[in-house]
């Protein structure tokens, strides 16, 4: 007999876990170069290279291994994957407080990527256990956890590091991830029915054999584009803040707030768009979010001071709130039940690709067209994303 699952409790617990996981992947970014500088007698060039490697390491590994965890989740259950990932990250992130050189830190960051999978399986479990009439609402909430954690993480990490020291940041984050493990262990439940694999039948890969695979591929690409545009300014944000406000003595703090503020607006507004998507259709909300993003990025390129930059970043959070929940709702609605974890794990791979490619795009554009050129470029990318979504959702519209 199937167990009665409280989907709202699952949603709340897993939102917290996603939030902490997002912080774990991003909290090091404000002080990574300073921390590495304390770990050895490195030149400025070495610090730059080692910092870049430490920052990118978990995302590169996550991009590769996420689909594997999705396959195992569809075979053995999403909850075991949640427990594996949360306990693994708790141990690995906590161990970062004990490193004695930069290479140990990079090694643990690589291992952190191996223990990925909490976020994708949390989303998949929520999608599998939530009634279809509440899918948009649930997607609207669960999607904010990871994104908000990733965006607010640098501010939290910088605050803890400034107050208590760099190593204490890892201890706090590891402890919070251990709490997410315990909450998932005792409070999260699922009615999992493993799919019986017939002998001789080859396991399909990626979107192979999925009737609405074209829609899902479009959502994967949208995730990549959104993450790339959100992170394109990250490497040079503090320098841009300094250019807009050359006389301020709190560049790092202001840059942290500006980087995090779109996560705050997304957390507040995403559930509203989620409920709206349940009423008028996720694809309509998604297209609105992309058009709004194009406008906001173009306006951001015209910002004359830090206040205007902050307001524009706040509005970026509004566009994110209309985009990411709808992406996840459309993936959930168009994925076969026996492959839903795989699909969300592939989505995490595309998200990681956006996390890596975004800063590279931003840094490259600055060399040729300055800081404002980054926002013009991101507006163009958002416009291309709109065309991609329109193309890939045409099949969805004909079938609904």
**Nearest residue to 227 via CA among 357, 387, 121:** 357
Give the residue among 228, 324, 230 at the shortest CA–CA distance from 273: 324
When mean pLDDT is compared across 65-69, 109-113, 335-339, the lowest value belongs to: 335-339
Over 80: is that where the pLDDT of 296 sits? yes
The closest of 118, 143, 139, 117 to 128, measured between CA atoms, is: 139
Q: What is the mean pLDDT of residues 358-385?
A: 85
Domain ranges of the chain: 7-192+208-398
Burial of residue 322 (CB within 10 Å: 0-12, 13-18, 19+) is buried
- Provide the greatest CA pair distance for the chain: 70
Angle at 358 between CA 352 and CA 359, to 5 degrees: 110
Alpha carbons 129 and 119: distance in angstroms, whole number: 16
pLDDT tens readout for residues 50-90: 877 887 788 888 888 888 888 888 888 889 999 999 999 99
pLDDT at residue 218 tops 80 = yes
Mean pLDDT on 218-231:
88
Q: Mean of the pLDDT values across residues 173-193?
A: 88
pLDDT of 1 reads 44
pLDDT (mean) for 189-218: 74
pTM over 0.85: no
Joined together, the tokens standing for residue 391 give 């193309």
369, 375, 381, 385 alpha-carbon torsion, rounded to 10°: -170
Q: How confident is the model at residue 384 (pLDDT cuts 50, 70, 90)?
A: very high
Most confident segment among 153-157, 337-341, 343-347: 343-347
Question: Domain 7-192+208-398 belongs to what architecture?
Answer: Up-down Bundle (1.20)
Can you read off the two tokens belonging to residue 115? 């223990």
Torsion of CA 292, 323, 150, 119, to 10 degrees: 180
Q: Are 386 and 216 in contact (CB under 8 A)?
A: no
Q: DSSP labels for 55-81?
A: HHHHHHHHHHHHHHHHHHHHHH-HHHH
């Amino acid at each position: 007999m199937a167990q009665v699952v409280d989907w709202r409790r699952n949603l709340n617990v897993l939102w917290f876990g996603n939030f902490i996981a997002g912080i774990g992947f991003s909290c090091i970014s404000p002080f990574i170069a300073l921390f590495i500088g304390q770990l050895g007698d490195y030149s400025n060039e070495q610090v730059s290279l080692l910092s870049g490697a430490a920052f990118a390491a978990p995302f590169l590994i996550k991009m590769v291994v996420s689909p594997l965890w999705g396959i195992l989740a569809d075979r053995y259950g999403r909850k075991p994957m949640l427990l594996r990932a949360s306990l693994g990250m708790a141990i690995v992130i906590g161990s970062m407080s004990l490193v004695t050189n930069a290479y140990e830190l990079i090694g643990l960051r690589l291992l952190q990527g191996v223990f990925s999978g909490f976020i994708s399986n949390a989303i998949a479990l929520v999608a599998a256990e939530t009634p279809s009439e509440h899918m948009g609402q649930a997607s609207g909430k669960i999607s904010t956890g990871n994104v908000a954690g990733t965006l607010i993480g640098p501010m939290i990490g910088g605050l803890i590091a400034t107050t208590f020291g760099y190593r204490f940041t890892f201890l706090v984050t590891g402890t919070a991830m251990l709490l997410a493990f315990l909450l998932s262990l005792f409070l999260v439940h699922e009615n999992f029915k493993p799919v019986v694999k017939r002998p001789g039948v080859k396991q399909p890969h990626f979107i192979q054999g999925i009737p609405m695979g074209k829609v899902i591929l479009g959502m994967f690409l949208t995730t990549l584009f959104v993450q790339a545009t959100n992170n394109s300014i990250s490497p040079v944000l503090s320098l841009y803040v300094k250019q807009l406000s050359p006389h301020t003595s709190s560049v790092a703090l202001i840059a942290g707030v500006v980087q995090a503020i779109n996560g705050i607006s997304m957390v507040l507004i995403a559930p509203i768009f989620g409920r709206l998507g349940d009423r008028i259709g996720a694809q309509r909300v998604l297209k609105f979010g992309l058009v709004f993003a194009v406008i906001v990025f173009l306006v951001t390129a015209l910002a004359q001071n830090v206040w205007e930059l902050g307001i524009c970043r706040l509005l970026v959070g509004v566009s994110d709130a209309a985009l990411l929940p709808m992406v996840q709702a459309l993936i959930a609605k168009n994925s076969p039940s026996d492959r839903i974890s795989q699909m969300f794990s592939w989505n995490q791979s595309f998200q990681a690709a956006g996390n890596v490619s975004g800063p590279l795009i931003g840094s490259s554009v600055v060399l040729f067209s300055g800081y404002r050129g980054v926002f013009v470029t991101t507006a163009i990318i958002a416009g291309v994303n709109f065309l991609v979504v329109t193309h890939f959702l045409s099949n969805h519209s004909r079938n609904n």
